[in-house]
Every structure is written in C-alpha cells, then in structure tokens.
Structure 1
C-alpha cells in the first residue's frame, strides 16, 4: 500500500492513502496507525434530495473479526447484526460530523467505516472518526473543515492524551472530545473511579504546569470534581485544535474538486412571520404553555387551521414554518430578556420530583421516578455470575463478561405518538450506555450480576437523566451498596451574540429551540459521566464551567430529594435475593465441602442457597432467595469452622485404632479415625477371604478395628486389625 502522508500526533502517528482503494466513492481514506488499518468511505446520492427538514446522513462503523485473527463465535460464521460497540461508535461519528454539512444539504449520504486490521492497543473510536473526517474532507462534497477526536485519561494521577488501551484500562478517567480547529463539538466523559484502579491520585496540578507531577488532587469520591475536569478539558481541547490544523495542512492537496449539487431551498415567508407576530403572538404563548409535546403540537396545528380560514390563498406549509419561527423566537427571547422559561420556571429551577420505590411486588426492585412531564419506571433484577452478558471486541484476548447492564426503552406512547414498539434503536442504546457509565463507578457488585431496565412512560426532556436517578433508587431499593448518591440533570443554553442563558433541567421545547444539550451525572462531589452536543458550533470553557456548576447545584437539589426517598424504602423481602460475603480460614474448606461434597450439598439443600468459596483466600459468598436462609447458612458454616476439634493424633505405621465406616465405595470404604481424620481401607484389605462387594461385609456407621498400613501423601491407607 502506498501512503500519501503521515501525520505525527500526541502518543501516535497516522498514515493516510487517498488514491489506492474505493475510487468510485465520493471520498475515501485508508488509514494505518500501528498495526490498525481502517477504511472510511463517503457516498452521496446525487439523484435525490430529501425535502424534509433534516440531514439524511447515515454512519455505519463495521468491525471484521478477521482484523484480529478471529472467526465469529456462535452458529453463523460470518458477521451479523452490529455489536453495541459498533452502534455506539457509529453514533459518536454521526454526532461529530453532522454539524459540518451545509444548510440545505438534502442528498442521502452514507459514511461507511470498516476495520481491516486491529492491534490490541488501538483506540478504534478515535481512529474511526479521524478516518471518516478525512474521507469527507478530501471528497467532492463542499466541506472544508477537519473534525477529529482526542481521548484523555488519568493514569496514576498523570494526564495522558491519546492513551493506549492498556493505559485506558488503568485510568480513572475516560474523556472523549471531538471538534474542529476552533470549535468544540462534542464531549463524552466517564469517571472510572479511583477506588477501582489504585487510589493513586495525589498533589495539585497547578504546582507543576510541565506535567512532571501528578495532575489532579486526591479526593475520596469516585466522581471527578468540576474544577479538575475544566483543567483537563483545557489541555485536551488545545491538543484537539492543534491536531485539526495538522490534518487540514496535510489533507488540502488531496481535496477533490467540489461537485456542483443542488440544495434544498428553505425560505421563510416574512410576510406570514410578520402577520403571526402581530395578530397571534398571544396564541403562540398559549401553545408554549402546553408542556407536553403532543399538546403543544395540537395547539400550534389548531392555530394554523384558524389562520387558514381567513387566509385561504396562503400555503399551509409556509405558514407552518412561519409559526415555528415565531414560536422559537418567543421561547428564546423570553429566556434571554425576561429570564423566564415557557413553563414559568427560573433558569436554574428544577421541575417537581416524585419518587416511588418497589411499586412492582414481584420484581427484585423498582422505582417510578417522575420529574415534571418525564417519567421512568426503572426495574432491577439480580443474578449470579453466570447471568452476566458475554461479549467480545476485536481488541480483547477473549470473551468478556458484563455484570452490570442498563437497558433503556423509549416507546412511542411516551411522547403521544401512535407508533409500534420495535427493536432497540441507536438512541436507546446510547441513552442506556450513558446511564450505565453514570452509575457504574459507585457500584461494587462483587460477583453479582445486575440488570436495570428503564421503561420511559412519559417524556418531555431528560429521560436519560430520569433513568440515572431512577436507576440509583432501584439499586438502593434492592439493598445494593453504593459509594455515594448519584443523580443526573440535562442542561441547555440559549445564546444571541454575547448574551446567553444557561438552563437547568431542560424540557423538550428548550432542547428543540435551544443551542446545547448537555447531560451531566454525578454526586454532590463531582461528575461520574457527561455527554454534550453543541448546536451553535462551539462553546467557551468559561461558559462550560458556569454550566457545570449550575448543573452541580441542580444535582444537589435532586440528590436531597432522593435521599429523603431512600429513608422510606420497603424491600421486597419475599422476592429480593440476598447475598452475604465473609471469610473463613482456608484450612477449614475441606470440612465445609465434606467427603465428595456431601456437607456443602446438605447446606445448599437445607437453606436453599448457592455457595461459592475461594479456596485461596477463604472468601465465602452465600446467595439465596431470602435473608433468613442466607443468614442461617452463614451461621451453619461458621459453626463448622468454630466447632471444638479433637486434638490431632500423630499416626504411625502399625498403630491400631477403632474407626467408624463413613462411606462405602466400589473399591473399599472410608473410615473415620478417632480425631476425625479419614483413611481408606481397600477392598483387598477388608478380609482374609476374597470380597466381591464391600457392602456384603461392611455397613456405613459400623465400628471396626483398623491398622495404619502406610501413608500416601496426605492419604492414610488402612487394613483390618
């Protein structure tokens, strides 16, 4: 393969070829970094222009198992439906590149990213975006900006940019930024939690701007404080901007001649806009006060029909656009000028919250979380290690187990739409993944498997954050220990020039007509996860910092309400499984297991529990359907360990003792000696006469005289005395 250019970046390099493969695509980039090879292509349909007011862009990130020398597992030996990682990566690329397309671009566009070779240290999500952006930049589409990604991690207190996967696996932070050379477009962040790595965070970053000392301060929480995140964002953003300058300088000579294509003409009829402003502004305000999306749409549609009765020659589609423009203007002006939102709230005010736990009597745990017109029913199910979700990625050596799952479902009825319930969509997968990242740092399952399912029953903004709050409450309603209380809040922003307003707990109207969708989850101490999409093309760190601290105030308010609700939890004791962990001296494990597992089977059957024992350190896990059964099993095991024992006898060859036949087998009998030690009397040593069947001569519980014949390791061989 002939490579056209090589771009040197922080911690790695990338080589690009633009003319060797996929020549019939509008743009293509073959990218090599280390031993990883990715092909990204861009194709547009020039014969069609979609008239609806959206960009018909589809992004598909596709992994080939041969890239890592693997054959697909399962019955079908070829790649089938996309994995969660592939879907989430496609979504990240889509959200990063969508803002680049010119207004009025309506041609169906397909971006395909394929992995052909993968090494175990590759950051495939970063490379996928970089490759797709390169293919788009050199294509014949009128796009002249590079978008790239930078990932930041925190390893032993040191900030590492563009980390390897090994470094990321030992990091307390996973921060993914995408943007252009002068605009930050997207943020994805999760705090892995210092307790889950090595508790190695020390000293203040400002003491050493050269980064020779650790970059962040010690904090007990698994959440990352806002001040520290801002400092990390500043460093990461600087590298992001520098990288895009390098990309554009390197790619510009390979840019194809721009193709002349048609754009959607979307001209607002200003006469209609003026008429609506003058005659029906009060109707617009009334419609804004209809908080549910369906109710608001009905009110605006009724207004449109009312106007058409007196303006019969007007085009109804044009009138719809005019009404929408006036509505958007009014929403934004009221926020910026009057500091009041459509529902009458102050900019930092949170909608009313109600929380009910364990509303489902047969589920292990549940929570009905309602915030304004958004409602999530989050249901928790507990299982053992065998219930974990098995998965495998290209960079893994083998199959991995996911024992904490969050699944998010968004049926049409939640927004008043008459649509059937279909398979999981990308948005649902993304929202569930965000909620998982928010809660995972504070949960220590210790071998258990937990599945949270969020059923969105009503939605008017921030249903993913309702999932986080409801998910935390469901964990507590299942009596699962958490390190701290975590809540989520969706922030928004409206801006005109230098005038801006930051909104807490945004509703659907403010998300639609605003300039930012910023979801922040965490405790009162800091942030566990974050996701931000900026619609206006960039945001300053000062504004971002203000939004983060306003989000912190909102979270604290929500957390106070959640902690009050925690005090009222009544557990589903008849249904909720119980688990207990304790340690015993490993030397007693043999006695707990018993001869051929007899003792432990008796405990399991008697108390209806499952028992796992770590033979190395003596850790015992007891799980059962009821707390009483688990506690009784624990006490029984501790009774075996703590029972007084007869002093051990120092046995010698030739010594004779009375023993009790404990178990008869085909080849002899196990005999318990006076101090509880077992010995084996072989069938050939039971009698002077030939014995065909041991049970013809001996019976369990019978007392017999035996002689020590020999020692075989820890085993004692006996004969009949």
Structure 2
C-alpha cells in the first residue's frame, strides 16, 4: 500500500512516499521537492566475524537521465562515483552513524539514487532526509528521528530549501542535521560571516528540522515498522578487573609527552597487563585476546575522557591552548608558491601552481556543466602517521578534507578580472596528529600569499573538540589531537578570516549538542583563529606584489565581438601565426575577452600589442607608421594595421609634383601616413604629405619649447632666485 505525506516548507512542498517501490529492501522511500526526486533504500546483513567497528556504508549516485542528459565521454554509462557523489555520500553517513546503538555490528547499507532533477533544487539534502526516513521505517534499530535541511542567508534572511540561483547570491550556504534533542551535523560555507550570525542561522535551521521530523513521524505512524531489539553489550568482569588494576598506570601512560612516545607507553602497559592477566601454562584462560583488546580499548576511552573532564589533556596543554605553531614560505625552489604549516605534530606542505584558462577543470553532472578555476587537492600518505599500508587513489576522507579546505579558502580569492590565473593547491600531510584539514587551510593561505595571489583576507582554521557526560557536564577543547578526536564526542572545524567564518564542519559521536555548546564552540574557535592568524601574518603579512618568475604571464583585454573574426582569421590562420611569432597562447571567448599567456612578460606584451593592433579601429585624423605593401601608377597601398591597408594617392605623397610613385617609395618602405577619409565601402584614404607636414610642425614646436626652457644667463638666474631666497 502506497503511503504519502507532504508539507510546505519554504517555497515548495516536501513530500515522502513509501510502499510502492523497492519493497524487498528493509526500508525504501521516495523524497521530492519541486521536480527533484530521490529514491533511498536501506538493507542489513549479519555481522562479519571478528570486526570491532560498525560496518555502515552509504552510497549516493546520480543518474544523468534524471536531468535529461547523457554521460560525457566514450562510455555512455555512469561509472565510478564523482567527487560530488562522494561528498554527498559523506553527508548522508555523518549524521546517521551516531544514532545506531553502541556495539551494533550488523552490516548496514544505505543507497540513494537521484531519479529526477530540476537543476534548481539540489538532491543532496533530499538524499539525507530519505536515507534517515528509510532507516526509520525499517526493522533496523536506528535511534531516529533524524532530519536535515539546507538554509541560505540572503539579505539577512534565513531561507529554507533555497534554489541553486538563491545559493549563488547567498552570504551563507548551510546544511544542518538534527534530532528532536539537538544538532547532529553541520556543513556550511560563507563569505566571512560573523559567528553570531552563523549561530543564529544554525538555530533557525534547527526549527525547520523539527518541521521535517514531524513529517517523518507522520509517515512512521502509518507504516508502523517492527523494530529489531538490540541490547548494547555492557562492560564485563574483564573490564572491571583491568580498571581496578591498571587505571592509574593507564592515566600516567596517557600523559606521556609526544604522540609516538605516548603510544609506546600505552603499548608497553598493554603487554604487561596481558602477560599478568593470562593464566600460567597448563591453565585455560577465561577470555580471548580479542575480548582483552575490546576491554582494553574501553578502558583507554574511559581514561582519556576522565582526564579531559578533569581539565588534563594528554599533551599537558590547557583546554583552550593551541599547540606550538611554525610557519614558513618559499620552502621549495621552482614551484610558483610553497609554504609549510606545522601545529604541534601536524604538518602540511603546500604547493601552489598558477595556470592559464586552458588548465580549468570542466565539471559535468546533473547540474549545469561549469569550469573550476580553483582546485585544492589533499593527500594523506600512510607515513604521516607512521603506518605501512597499501597506497591507492584518494579515499573518501581525502576528498572530503580537500573539499572542506577548498571551499573555506575560495571565498577570499580575487575574481577572474583581477587575477585571471587558474589556481591549484596541493596539500601533502607529512605528519598528522589531529586536524590536518585545518592545517591545510592555514598553509594554503600562506602559499597563496607567497605565490602573489591577491587574496582579500587571510584564512585560518582550527578544530574544537568536546567531552560530554551530560547536558550540564561538558568541556570544550581547542586544537584537538588524535586521542581527543577518537575518544571525544565532537570534531567542530571552523575556518575564517578576522571578519568571520568561511567554512564550518561539525561531526559528532554524541547523540546531539545544544545551542549553548554550538555558540561556545564558535566563540572559542574565533579566539584561536585570531591567534593563529597573528602568527601567520608575522611570517608574510600580505600577498607578494608579483608572481613567481617561473609562473606563466597572463594579460587580458576585451575586444569588440565583431573583431573576433579579424583576430582569428580564416581557419585560424592569423591567430596561429601570431601565437607562433610571439611564443604565446591566445584564447578568445565568445564575449570578446582575450587572454594571452606566455612564459615571459615580454612575449605576452608583444602578443598584446599585436592583438590591439589587429582589433583596433582606424581613426580619421590619426597618423600611423605604415608599411608599403604594393605600388600602382596612381599611388601606393600602405598597411597601417595588421591586415588593414589604405591607398595613398600619388597626389598625397608629397607637396611637390611627383612624376612616379617609385620616386618616393618602394615596397617594404616604412612611412608615416595620416588617415584623411574612410568611404562608405570602408576604403581608407591616406596622405603622406599631410603627415610629414604635421610631424615637422610638432618637431619645430618642441624645439621652441626646449629653447624657452633653457637656463637663463647667470645675471637673470640671480635676479630670479632673489625673491625665492626671501620666501625661504
């Protein structure tokens, strides 16, 4: 039986439907807003033996047919997930993961397919709503409800479910997920939006979340799913025994300075505990090594959380203290820009490359195709954490961290009219102990300024952690390290300038956080960000005045649309010859924008002069330096601009009588000519004699001015200087 619920939220109606499609899945529903429709389905399977984590997989895919398009390339079929699909898969995963019972190990797979797209209402939030709804109507023990909403800040107003056009002009684009109790996930990017305004927008989004949850609950009431019962496994006697015997030693090991030294101390204590807990030879142990490791990990979690709640951090810092920071620029030769940012044991090497418009990335999908002029790629090699594992292509985490850093920096970049270069940043994480994505943001700012990119404001980022035992008992941690991230309840990343936030991302392990935690985290992140910016600006206070000598030189101009053909020439003949002659690349856009790129500034300027000459309009009364291209009995044809010539009649060659044109000039001679007329057929009439006459008059006038400016005789000098001496 098909069941459908809907409610108007924002400008259009949000609807959810189930009971007709995907009936063999554990839960399946359609979600629609406008003419965008997403199908979401969930399934589950038995747990894999021996695993100690929750195997949840979320997969979002877009069908090109949803937008009436064919996939690009030779294969007319969707292939591996695009960057956008990976990012939306992460958006689905992050808010639903904390709402499964502790210790649940069954396989759970969530799939979302875009079935129809109107290119205005983004399917990402619909996929998030549909995935949570499918879990709620399935037998899987999901602790919903959970809803998501996108809001945009436009002219000071918070607009729910904004269209693509609205998001283009919004100051803040924000996705928030939450339950009835509070907020679970945030992802947002803005144009230097103050923290207070961001906090207000998050809480406004939470009110819209409650409306979506009401819609979901109406659907669940009609479906009436039968939920599987799952009892979380409670710590057994082995955990209690370990805690009573090794708790104090574990606390001491966990406060050892240095990440590697701390890990070694904990491992040594583990080996000691395992040896002491194991029975003697010939006696049978009442636990397995896997059970011991599980209890040991739970004890480690308890120890770290107790330390943090008591105000003690594993590395000895205060709760709001930032680790030591080191900033360097120009650390690599030849590259267009480079920087090294290190915060504690997290180290990011940044490389900046400047390219031409040909280096722009074309992005295709169910939304309209577009070009990217700015790219940031994040790499996390295994040696950065001292591990040895297979090296494959970038994973979801690397793609997500790169996208967060990219969008956090993008809003301060100059426009293409001011800086026409394509920009690519590479962040290689060489060492990691917490918040490498925010180190990437800081390093990217340093690298951009070192490369001479005129950014509007410098951007820095920081991660704020949380340890929460109850609504009243919680502590915020500035600049979290790996242990605090792993055993804590929150990773709240905030990037921005001195003026406000440009990027924000919240992930939770707790069930939710309230408004007080959100606003306190935003405030604490701002204080840390300002401190980091001071240290960055002490190294390089502003962008360099010029780009690297190894970067290509770009010049840009705009010509009349009707001159494009003259510049390109028949079959591209003229522009190819021009590129070969000046060793440059010339690109012409449909609106008349011409971009010239060359290895040297001299070559680019030479090409620009040729372009200006080719596309310039001939002016009546202007004198040109021409070149004789052919001689006739009645006069000479003179080229005054590339591809444009005019006739200088024999009577206009000289003031005196001219018997033969060849007496005055020959082919290839340079001579000045003045444009005296252009007829209805665009034929240009030139005069050499008038040009010579005017040039002679100008030279004579210049000589007279030089004579009048000559120094007076000494007696006159003395007389002129007298009054000035008195004035002084």
TM-score of the superposition, structure 1-length normalised? 0.81
Contact 2:630 2:637 in 1 (8 A): yes
Q: Is the counterpart of residue 406 in structure 1 residue 406 in structure 2?
A: no
Contact 1:41 1:111 in 2 (8 A): yes
Once the two structures are superposed, the pairs formed by residues 570-589 of structure 1 within 5 Å of their partners are 573-580=548-555
Q: Pick the aligned partner of 1:549 from 523, 528, 551.
A: 523
Q: In the superposition, relative to structure 1, how do residues 595 and 637 fare at CA in structure 2: closer, same or farther (>3 Å)?
A: closer
Q: In the superposition, relative to structure 1, how do residues 103 and 5 fare at CA in structure 2: closer, same or farther (>3 Å)?
A: same
Q: What residue number does 1:624 align with? A: 598
Q: In the superposition, relative to structure 1, how do residues 590 and 319 fare at CA in structure 2: closer, same or farther (>3 Å)?
A: closer
Q: Deviations over 1:292-334 (max 9, x none)?
A: 2x54443322212112333322644444344433433333333
Contact 2:409 2:502 in 1 (8 A): yes
Instruction: Tell me the secondary structure at the aligned position of residue 362 of structure 2.
Output: strand
Q: Is the counterpart of residue 458 in structure 1 residue 457 in structure 2?
A: no
Aligned residue pairs total 649
Mapped to 1, the partners of 2:343 and 2:438 lie a distance apart of: 10
Mapped to 2, the partners of 1:605 and 1:560 lie a distance apart of: 48
Mapped to 2, the partners of 1:635 and 1:675 lie a distance apart of: 11
Once the two structures are superposed, the pairs formed by residues 320-469 of structure 1 within 5 Å of their partners are 320-337=293-310, 339-396=311-368, 399-446=369-416, 447-469=420-442
Residue 375 of structure 1 deviates from its aligned partner by: 0.7
Q: Which 5+ residue runs of structure 1 have no aligned equivalent? A: 194-222, 650-658, 682-697
Residue 463 of structure 1 deviates from its aligned partner by: 0.4
TM-score of the superposition, structure 2-length normalised? 0.80
Q: In the superposition, relative to structure 1, how do residues 408 and 268 fare at CA in structure 2: closer, same or farther (>3 Å)?
A: farther
Q: What residue number does 2:655 align with? A: none
Q: In the superposition, relative to structure 1, how do residues 701 and 569 fare at CA in structure 2: closer, same or farther (>3 Å)?
A: closer
Once the two structures are superposed, the pairs formed by residues 60-139 of structure 1 within 5 Å of their partners are 60-139=59-138
Mapped to 2, the partners of 1:305 and 1:99 lie a distance apart of: 32
Q: Deviations over 1:412-439 (max 9, x none)?
A: 1111110121111111110000001100
Q: In the superposition, relative to structure 1, how do residues 648 and 590 fare at CA in structure 2: closer, same or farther (>3 Å)?
A: farther
Once the two structures are superposed, the pairs formed by residues 105-184 of structure 1 within 5 Å of their partners are 105-143=104-142, 145-184=144-183
Contact 2:555 2:604 in 1 (8 A): yes
Contact 1:334 1:341 in 2 (8 A): yes
Q: In the superposition, relative to structure 1, how do residues 678 and 245 fare at CA in structure 2: closer, same or farther (>3 Å)?
A: closer
Instruction: Tell me the secondary structure at the aligned position of residue 662 of structure 1.
Output: strand
Mapped to 2, the partners of 1:417 and 1:297 lie a distance apart of: 13
Q: Pick the aligned partner of 1:224 from 193, 205, 217.
A: 193
Q: Is the counterpart of residue 490 in structure 1 residue 477 in structure 2?
A: no
Instruction: Tell me the secondary structure at the aligned position of residue 121 of structure 1.
Output: coil
Residue 638 of structure 1 deviates from its aligned partner by: 8.8
Q: Deviations over 1:257-308 (max 9, x none)?
A: 2246797676462432333346xx235423442532x544433222121123
Instruction: Tell me the secondary structure at the aligned position of residue 6 of structure 2.
Output: strand
Q: What residue number does 1:211 align with? A: none
Contact 1:126 1:148 in 2 (8 A): no
**The 10-residue stretch of structure 1 (463-472 or 564-573) with the greater mean CA deviation from structure 2:** 564-573
The RMSD of aligned alpha carbons is 3.9
Contact 2:71 2:78 in 1 (8 A): yes
Residue 713 of structure 1 deviates from its aligned partner by: 4.2
Mapped to 1, the partners of 2:69 and 2:618 lie a distance apart of: 56
Q: Is the counterpart of residue 282 in structure 1 residue 256 in structure 2?
A: no
Mapped to 2, the partners of 1:241 and 1:182 lie a distance apart of: 10
Query: Over alpha carbons, which structure has the higher Rg?
Result: 2
Instruction: Tell me the secondary structure at the aligned position of residue 62 of structure 1.
Output: strand
Once the two structures are superposed, the pairs formed by residues 674-693 of structure 1 within 5 Å of their partners are 678-679=644-645
Q: Deviations over 1:350-406 (max 9, x none)?
A: 11111222222122211121111001111111111111111112132xx21111111
Q: In the superposition, relative to structure 1, how do residues 384 and 445 fare at CA in structure 2: closer, same or farther (>3 Å)?
A: farther
Q: What residue number does 1:43 align with? A: 43
Q: What residue number does 2:275 align with? A: 309
Q: Pick the aligned partner of 1:662 from 629, 639, 645.
A: 629
Q: What residue number does 1:521 align with? A: 495
Contact 1:679 1:717 in 2 (8 A): no
Q: Is the counterpart of residue 33 in structure 1 residue 41 in structure 2?
A: no
Contact 2:630 2:638 in 1 (8 A): no
Q: Is the counterpart of residue 300 in structure 1 residue 272 in structure 2?
A: no
Once the two structures are superposed, the pairs formed by residues 595-614 of structure 1 within 5 Å of their partners are 608-611=583-586
Q: What residue number does 1:187 align with? A: 186
Q: What residue number does 1:20 align with? A: 20
Instruction: Tell me the secondary structure at the aligned position of residue 504 of structure 2.
Output: strand
Q: Which 5+ residue runs of structure 2 have no aligned equivalent? A: 280-284, 648-664, 687-728
Mapped to 2, the partners of 1:712 and 1:154 lie a distance apart of: 57
Q: In the superposition, relative to structure 1, how do residues 3 and 274 fare at CA in structure 2: closer, same or farther (>3 Å)?
A: closer
Residue 603 of structure 1 deviates from its aligned partner by: 7.6
Q: In the superposition, relative to structure 1, how do residues 311 and 15 fare at CA in structure 2: closer, same or farther (>3 Å)?
A: closer
Residue 469 of structure 1 deviates from its aligned partner by: 0.7
Residue 51 of structure 1 deviates from its aligned partner by: 3.8
Q: Pick the aligned partner of 1:531 from 492, 500, 505.
A: 505
Q: In the superposition, relative to structure 1, how do residues 346 and 709 fare at CA in structure 2: closer, same or farther (>3 Å)?
A: closer
Q: Deviations over 1:649-679 (max 9, x none)?
A: 9xxxxxxxxx964389xxxx99327899945
